[in-house]
């Protein structure tokens, strides 16, 4: 984010802000003073007015913008001595030189002779950037004679202290009150330069404290901007960690994760595509069970086929039932190889639970499907959710955001490549070829199931430099 300096004096004038002149917050009866920092006459009575109305304090002199003051201190510590009046200086060949005999000091002297200063660049990148800022603005922007007061909604007073019953003013109100008091000292004092310099230095330091307060609210990952972005609630979205893509393909064209495709873990794809997957799975059960009617074939141990009657499968596999298993798949990785049990009209204790069949064939390039090895086992929820995510993700875009979001390079749209297990197999299922079908091992102990699934997002290396990625940052995906 880029922020530019703006003339505070112009801001006050153009917005016709009213002046706050009283450092006392309340008068007798705990009512806000009419000309004070919580004034109802200045800031209004309604919540909206007190949330949107600004005011200002007349500083009765020229003061450095707090950001500029901190910048000057880093460049040359002598500027601190000028502001607090502890040393006298002369400007010789554009530089501040200590001169206790003929020199002068203070903020007003600095403002008067500002244009005589010359800031020379060197090999320091930070110094050169600061000099560019100083050269980019007129001194009427770098200095200010007024201070904007934020609306009272954001610095309201806690009227009672649980222990003492005293009024507890907000920290900002203390800073503002101190500045008003010091500015009155400047307004009413015409002699004794050291008194004026001390008052001006105190105002400058209080302005820096206010700047630091707001800076602390918004900077870094826990600041308001990044924290609010990181905490956004996204409908059908997911948060992930980015990791480096694996290179198992022989050619770039065979890479499933590339510039136009982001690898999305199956569990997160279930969140991104939830309504589409639920509808797809419901249609899948209806289609599969309609083929066989009310009787479902079961292979006995001797190889013979018997039939069992299903109990209302069309109402059994309803939306609520599918959503329940979808949620379990996303949040209980150990259960991802759970078999799909069918509702039986008259359960047979000898046969035990009846599970849905899965039939597929390994895909081998160049060989027809009929010559491929046959796979026959109970169907799992991984099977149906992967097939649903694979179909429903086609031609759908996912917006990928890498946090912290600093500029437009941190967000980009791509298609989805669904990631399932770390090891995949090419598979025929029906008349569809899945080049990266999950490798399902029903004999695997439950505690190890979660370890074989890919649960991090893979993006193309081509995006890394643009969004400052290093494969250890948070990522947000939304459909």
Dist CA 16 CA 307 (whole Å): 86
Instruction: Tell how strand 237-243 and strand 457-458 pair up.
Output: parallel
Q: Residue 422's pLDDT is what?
A: 92
Dist CA 127 CA 116 (whole Å): 19
SS (H, E, C) the chain: CCCCCCCHHHHHHHCCCEECCCCCCECCCCCECCCCCCCHHHHCCCHHHHHHCCEEEEEEEEEECHHHHHHHHHHCCHHHHHHHCCCCEEEECCEEEECCCCCECCHHHHHHCHHHCCCCCCCCHHHHHHHHHHHHCCHHHHEEEEEEECCHHHHCCECCCCCCCCCECCHHHHHHHHHHHHHHHHHHCCCCHHHHHHHHHHHHHHHHHHHHHHHHHHCCCCCHHHHHHHCCCCCCEEEEEEECCCCCCCCHHHCCCECCEEEEEHHHHHHHCHHHHHHHHHHHHHHHHHHHCCEEEEECCCCCEEEEEECCHHHHCCHHHHHHHHHHHHHCHHHCCCECECCECCCCCCCCCCECEEEEEECCCCCCHHHCCEEEEECEHHHHHHHHHHHHCCCCEEEEEECCCCCHHHEEEEEEEEECECCEEEEEECCEEEEEEECCCCCCCHHHHHHHECCCEECCHHHHHHHCCCCCCEEEEEC
Residue 457: other Cβ atoms inside 10 A:
25
Q: Residue 286's pLDDT is what?
A: 87
Which of the listed CATH numbers 3.40.50.720, 1.10.10.60, 1.10.3470.10, 2.40.40.20 matches domain 233-478? 2.40.40.20
Dist CA 7 CA 149 (whole Å): 15
Residue 41 near residue 168, CB atoms below 8 Å = no
Strand partners, 305: 299
Domain ranges of the chain: 8-219, 233-478
Residue 89 near residue 96, CB atoms below 8 Å = yes
Chain position carrying tokens 């169907």:
379
Dist CA 325 CA 337 (whole Å): 11
Dist CA 439 CA 452 (whole Å): 9
Strand partners, 463: none
Q: Which residues of 416-451 are buried (b: 16+ CB within 10 A; e: fewer)?
A: bbbbbbeebbebbbeeeebebbbebeeeeeeeebee
Quote the pTM value. 0.57
Q: Residue 149's pLDDT is what?
A: 96
Per-residue pLDDT of the chain in tens (479 residues, 90 and over written 9): 566 898 999 999 999 999 999 999 888 877 899 999 999 999 999 999 999 999 999 999 999 999 999 999 999 999 999 999 999 999 999 999 999 999 999 999 999 999 999 999 999 999 999 999 999 999 999 999 999 999 999 998 765 554 555 667 889 999 999 999 999 999 887 666 778 889 999 999 999 999 999 988 887 767 776 666 655 666 778 888 888 777 777 777 778 898 899 999 999 999 999 999 999 999 999 888 877 766 777 767 666 777 888 888 888 899 999 999 999 999 999 999 999 998 888 776 666 788 888 888 888 776 666 666 778 889 999 999 999 999 999 989 998 888 777 778 888 999 999 999 999 999 989 888 999 999 999 999 999 999 999 999 998 888 888 877 766 555 556 66
Instruction: Tell how strand 424-429 and strand 432-438 pair up.
Output: antiparallel
Q: Residue 160's pLDDT is what?
A: 55
Q: Residue 312's pLDDT is what?
A: 83
Dist CA 162 CA 155 (whole Å): 19
Q: How far, rounded to the nearest angstrom, does the alpha carbon of residue 475 sit from its chain's CA centroid?
A: 9
């Amino acid at each position: 984010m880029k922020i530019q300096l703006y003339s505070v004096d112009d801001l006050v004038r153009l917005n016709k802000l009213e002046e706050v002149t009283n450092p006392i917050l309340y008068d007798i009866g705990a009512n806000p003073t009419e000309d004070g920092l919580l004034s109802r006459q200045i800031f209004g009575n309604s919540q909206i007015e007190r949330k949107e109305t600004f005011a200002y304090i007349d500083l009765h002199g020229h003061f450095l913008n707090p950001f500029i003051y901190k910048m000057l201190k880093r460049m040359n510590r002598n500027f601190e001595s000028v502001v607090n009046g502890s040393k006298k200086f002369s400007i010789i060949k554009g530089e501040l030189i200590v001169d206790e005999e003929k020199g002068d000091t203070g903020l007003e002297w600095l403002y008067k002779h500002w244009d005589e200063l010359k800031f020379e660049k060197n090999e320091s990148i930070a110094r050169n950037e600061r000099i560019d800022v100083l050269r980019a603005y007129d001194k009427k922007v770098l200095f200010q004679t007024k201070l904007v007061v934020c609306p009272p909604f954001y610095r309201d007073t806690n009227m009672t202290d649980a222990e003492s019953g005293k009024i507890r003013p907000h920290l900002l109100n203390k800073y503002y009150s101190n500045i008003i008091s010091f500015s009155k000292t400047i307004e009413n004092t015409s002699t004794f330069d050291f008194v004026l310099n001390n008052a001006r230095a105190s105002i400058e330091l209080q302005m820096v404290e206010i700047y630091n307060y707001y800076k602390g609210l918004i900077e870094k990952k826990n600041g308001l901007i990044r924290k609010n972005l990181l905490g956004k609630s996204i409908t059908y979205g997911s948060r992930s960690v980015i990791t480096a893509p694996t290179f198992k393909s022989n050619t770039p064209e065979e890479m499933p994760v590339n510039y136009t495709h982001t690898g999305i873990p199956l569990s997160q794809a279930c969140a991104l595509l939830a309504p589409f997957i639920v509808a797809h799975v419901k249609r899948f059960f209806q289609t599969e069970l309609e083929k066989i009617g009310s009787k479902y074939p079961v292979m006995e141990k001797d190889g013979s086929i018997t039939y069992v009657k299903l109990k209302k499968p069309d109402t059994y596999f309803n939306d609520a039932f599918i959503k329940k298993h979808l949620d379990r798949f996303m949040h209980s990785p150990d259960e991802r190889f759970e078999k799909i049990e069918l509702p039986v009209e008259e359960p047979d204790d000898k046969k035990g639970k009846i599970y849905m069949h899965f039939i597929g064939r390994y895909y081998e390039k160049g060989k027809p499907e009929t010559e491929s090895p046959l796979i026959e086992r109970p169907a799992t929820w991984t099977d149906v959710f992967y097939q649903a995510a694979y179909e429903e993700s086609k031609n759908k875009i996912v917006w990928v955001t890498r946090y912290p979001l600093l500029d437009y390079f941190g967000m980009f749209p791509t298609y989805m490549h669904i990631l399932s297990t770390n090891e995949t197999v090419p598979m025929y299922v029906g008349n569809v070829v899945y080049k990266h079908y999950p490798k399902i091992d029903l004999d695997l102990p439950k505690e190890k199931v979660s370890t074989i699934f890919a649960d991090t997002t893979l993006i193309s290396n081509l995006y890394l430099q643009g969004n400052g990625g290093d494969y250890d940052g948070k990522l947000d995906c939304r459909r």
